[in-house]
């Protein structure tokens, strides 16, 4: 979220429901969301679970982008 001194607001979009850790445990998306929110409160914007069957992730992404002042698909 910060690289070479550049701060970049970040939304994580994933098709995975959980991630394995090096210790062999599983990190659920809710735990990932909490961890990133605590570690990067000014940059982390959310975790969206991509599922091509449902549109909830698209709606959440659009709301987040509009909240940032970015208009969905509209030329400016």
Whole-number pLDDT of residue 50:
94
Delimit the domains of the chain by residue range. Answer: 2-67
pLDDT surpasses 70 at 75: no
User: Measured between alpha carbons, how far is residue 65 from residues 22, 35, 73 in Å?
Assistant: 33, 22, 11
Whole-number pLDDT of residue 38:
97
pLDDT surpasses 80 at 76: no
> What is the spatial distance between Cα 33 and Cα 39, in angstroms, rounded to a whole number?
10
> What is the spatial distance between Cα 21 and Cα 3, in angstroms, rounded to a whole number?
23
Model's pTM, two decimal places?
0.77
pLDDT tens figures, 6-50: 888 899 999 999 999 999 999 999 999 999 999 999 999 999 999
């Amino acid at each position: 979220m910060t690289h070479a001194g550049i701060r970049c607001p970040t939304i994580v979009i994933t098709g995975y429901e959980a991630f394995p850790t090096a210790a062999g445990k599983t990190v659920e998306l809710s735990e990932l969301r909490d961890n990133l929110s605590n570690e990067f409160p000014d940059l982390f914007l959310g975790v969206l679970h991509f599922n091509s069957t449902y549109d909830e992730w698209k709606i959440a992404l659009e709301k987040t982008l509009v909240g940032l002042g970015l208009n969905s698909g509209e030329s400016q």
